[in-house]
């Protein structure tokens, strides 16, 4: 069902500093910040030859990333994103197997402009999983 690894998301307390670290220390291709108000985050994508790293920063106090950073002030890995061909089929298969899809279960448009869903971390070894339709 899952395809390739799309990205690994890291919550960061300072988006500019994290972007500079990837660009200046690691020589990575770092994109421009973009606000994703539907998800409560500001993101920067770091493009690698085989995947991406998504740097996440809260967009307001109600952001789920704000809560994550309160528990993890230095930041940390927030989620991993896998590609799927059909997001609704993937959702239905997961629900049939007992996994919990977060939110209302309907896909939202993610930072890449494609439908996404999140699956509860308790159902995947403590890792929040995002599925993105390709």
Catalytic residue among 36, 54, 106, 130: 130
Helix (H, G, I), strand (E, B) or coil at 91: helix
Task: Mark out the alpha helices in the chain (DSSP H runs).
Answer: 15-20, 64-71, 87-96
Closest-CA residue to 14 (of 58, 53, 48): 58
Helix (H, G, I), strand (E, B) or coil at 131: strand
54 is catalytic: no
Catalytic residue list:
130
């Amino acid at each position: 069902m899952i395809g390739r690894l799309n990205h690994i998301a890291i919550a960061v307390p300072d988006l500019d500093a994290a972007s500079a670290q990837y660009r200046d220390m690691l020589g990575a291709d770092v994109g421009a910040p973009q606000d994703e108000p539907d998800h409560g985050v500001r993101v920067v994508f770091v493009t690698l030859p085989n995947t991406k790293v998504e740097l996440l920063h809260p967009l307001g106090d109600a952001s789920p990333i704000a809560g994550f950073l309160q528990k993890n002030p230095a930041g940390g890995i927030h989620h991993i994103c896998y590609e799927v061909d059909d997001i609704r089929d993937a959702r239905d298969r997961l629900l049939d197997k007992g996994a919990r899809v977060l939110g209302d279960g309907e896909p939202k448009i993610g930072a890449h402009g494609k439908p996404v869903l999140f699956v509860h971390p308790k159902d995947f070894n403590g890792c929040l999983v995002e599925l993105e339709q390709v």
